[in-house]
Structure formats: structure tokens, C-alpha cells
Amino acid sequence: MRKIFGLRHDLPVSFYVIDFWFRRILRQNAGVTWAVHHTSTVHSPEKIVRGKWVFPGDSQNVYINAKNGISIGDYTNIGPGVGIISANHDFINNEAHSVTGPIVIGRHCWFGMGSVVLPGVVLGDFTIVGAGSIVTKSFEEGYCVLAGNPAKVIKQLNRSECDAFAQSKV
């Protein structure tokens, strides 16, 4: 029988038990006040404002740097391997970070596996970011599907259908 961190590998172990072990005992992501997957990293969690049912980093291998602030609207999902980076290194002094605006993410957004959001981006409600996409600029109007590198709108969503869905969640 294989053991990982003293736990039997063949038994189901609660996500929250593993979360407790890594955050409270090993001090990984210790400042985060919500459950985070043990393979994810959240820097400056105190600068993250999150809406209802939003748990940044609960998927595997998520990297979040909130040094310049991140706001995430209600019911937004962040898939595995996503990077949300609100600060960049200064071009000349790599020990300093550039100051840009915060990242603002609307309600009911969804980030596919391996997508990346760069500093200062603003995304409106119901923005879907396709797997592997790199979002380098804002799409404040929302109600769209983004894909590619750099990300661009590949589909517009029906605003009235989206709003009706949002009303059903209230």
C-alpha cells in the first residue's frame, strides 16, 4: 500500500483534509481564507475580492498573482492550469514590480484549462476564455467567447439568455 504524506493512497481523502494539511501544517498558501488545491499557488490573497461561489485556486495547478489586485464576480469558474497575473516585473529592475490597474473579472465567467490573464485586463460578465488562450487586453462588454494568442472574440453570446440564467441563480 502506497502512502502519501502519511495518508493511504487507496482511500478517498477529503479535499478539505488535504487543504488543511498543506495550508495549516506545511504553510503553503497559508494566507488564503478559502480552500485551495495543494498544487495551486495564490500570492497576495488579501488583494483578491471574490464574489459568491468563487474559489480561486480550487482547481489543480492554478497560479494567481494578485499583487496589483484582482476582483472576481459571482459564479466565476477557474479551470486547471490557469494563470491570473496582476503584476509584472519591471523591465530594468527584476526585483521591482510594475504598477498597473487591477484585473477585474465579471460575473458568470469561465476560464478554460491553461488560459492566462495578464495585468490590467477587465473582462465583462459572461466572458468565456478558451483553453490555452492568452488574454492581453480588456473585453469589458462581456457576453462573449475568447480564444487564441492573443485572445480575440470568436463568438458573441445571447445577452438575454445569459441574463435570464443569472436571474435564476438569485
Q: pLDDT for 86-97, tens place per residue?
A: 998 877 888 877
Tell me the Cα Rg of the chain: 17
Q: Is residue 8 part of a domain?
A: yes
pTM: 0.83
83-129: per-residue pLDDT in tens?
Answer: 999 998 877 888 877 778 899 999 999 999 999 999 999 999 999 99
Is residue 70 a part of any domain in this protein?
A: yes
Write down the catalytic residue from 37, 89, 97, 108: 89
Which residues form the domain of 85?
40-168
The CA-based diameter of the chain, rounded to the nearest angstrom, is 54
For 152-165, what is the mean pLDDT?
96
CB within 8 Å of 2: residues ≥ 6 apart: 8, 9, 10
Residue 76 and residue 80: Cα distance in Å, rounded? 13
pLDDT > 70 fraction of the chain, expressed in percent and rounded: 89
Number of folded domains in the chain?
Answer: 2
Residue 89 annotated to the active site: yes
Q: What is the pLDDT of residue 1?
A: 45
Whether residues 81 and 2 share a domain: the answer is: no
Looking at the fold, whether 115 and 144 belong to one and the same domain comes out as: yes
